[in-house]
Chain A
Amino acid sequence: DQQVKQNSPSLSVQEGRISILNCDYTNSMFDYFLWYKKYPAEGPTFLISISSIKDKNEDGRFTVFLNKSAKHLSLHIVPSQPGDSAVYFCAARGGGTSYGKLTFGQGTILTVHP
């Protein structure tokens, strides 16, 4: 039962263009969503997050959009840079007694070409 899904295993984008990474979830109890970026041989690094009471959060080149009715979120990177090439994980945190537990998607490999 995969509650968080990233349906695109990979995405290739030209430098300077927009990268859009998508994530779908099924559990309506999730109250907080996060994006992590992972380079090979390193642990995931926190990128940006959004609370379920908001529909947009922006931090520099990174913007996360949340559509609660569709149970969908997306990460926009503008402009994309070669250093953004990494695996991006979408994660969700449930409310109630799940505390800090994160449920992760499978990840999307982003490649930004110079």
Chain B
Amino acid sequence: GIQVEQSPPDLILQEGANSTLRCNFSDSVNNLQWFHQNPWGQLINLFYIPSGTKQNGRLSATTVATERYSLLYISSSQTTDSGVYFCAVITQGGSEKLVFGKGTKLTVNP
């Protein structure tokens, strides 16, 4: 099955810093979503981005489908950005389930 790799696994920032999270996937996809899992376990949708670039406030994401990777940018980080960020994909054809990476754990210190 498809492999989804996220990097880095852990990231520690000072408040106000910028960061880039990466997601590599091993096969063609027609759905890619970025999620933020808060300390209570809720998965919050950030982006649905199978290709192209989107921005939402301090967050933006870019997916280059032909090269099989996606990037999540967080600018001017805040302590409330802490948590685990997951990339998840659905492959073209076959199952419609989301296949998740292992996540990037982000800690933003004041």
A binds B: no
Residues of A whose CB lies within 8 Å of any CB of B are: none
